[in-house]
Amino acid sequence: MTTVTSSRVGRAVLLALSAGTVVYALAVVVFGIVDLVVQLSTGEIRPTMYWSKNVYLFTDDGDGTNGVHISGVGGSVGAIIIGASPTTVAIYVTATVVGLLTQVALGALAIRMVARLRTGRPFDRSASRDVGASSIVVLALGITSQLLDWWARLAVIAQSGGGRFSTEFVWEPLTVTIGLTLAIVAFAFRSGEQLQRETEGLI
């Protein structure tokens, strides 16, 4: 495979990934907003709650003849909360919006990448800065969203007076992993920018 062909294939793959990210982020944001509006219009919120330790234990022997035994401790549950205070609802809404903004940041980065690919200069001087800035934004929004989700759960538990759900912070690694991956990509883009400048200097 020639260098030109490899370059074209690489750009095609990057274009497909960027376009897919735009579509995915747009779908997540649109459906997220619609779902949030539906929740608020029906007077409920749907935070993810987590059972306290040893509260929800389960076992399953299936049909009892195959020797397989399944057991465990309950984890997360998609809860429906009715009657939450305005403060609790506000915290939940803020957490949801911040989470959606994370997707907006990814979509905005993907759109800029598509624009660069169309101009034939994917590794111009601002490429690594854009990816690096997106990494910081995704990390900041992702961590903030998780903290707000935790706060919303605490508010629900405090208002209900229940003790069956955990008040511990639950770490969700996906957003942080994406942010760190973007940081690595930013370093790779800096190498691409240097190579592009060297190549242009030879022409």
Interval 10-60: pLDDT, tens: 667 767 777 777 788 888 899 999 999 999 999 999 999 998 877 777 777
Helical packing angle, 173-202 and 127-160, nearest 10°: 170
Q: Is the pLDDT of residue 203 over 60?
A: no
The reported pTM is: 0.76
* The residue count for the chain: 203
Residue 125 within a domain: yes
Residue 156 within a domain: yes
Handedness of CA 122, 126, 128, 133 (dihedral sign): negative
Residue 74 within a domain: no
Residue 112 within a domain: yes
Residue 155 within a domain: yes
What's the pLDDT band for 4 if we cut at 50, 70, 90? very low
Going by C-alpha positions, the residue among 4, 198, 13 that lies closest to residue 113 is 13
**DSSP classification of residue 65:** S
Handedness of CA 45, 102, 20, 114 (dihedral sign): positive
Structural domain boundaries enclosing 168:
3-47+85-202
What Rg, from alpha-carbon coordinates, does the chain have? 23
Q: What pLDDT was estimated at residue 98?
A: 94
Residue 75 within a domain: no
CB-based contacts of 145: which residues, under 8 Å, 6+ apart? 95, 98, 99, 102, 175
Residue 78 within a domain: no
The strand pairing partners of 73, in sequence order, are 57
Domain count for the chain, please give it: 1
Residue 169 within a domain: yes
Half-sphere exposure of 202 (CA within 13 A, CB side): 5
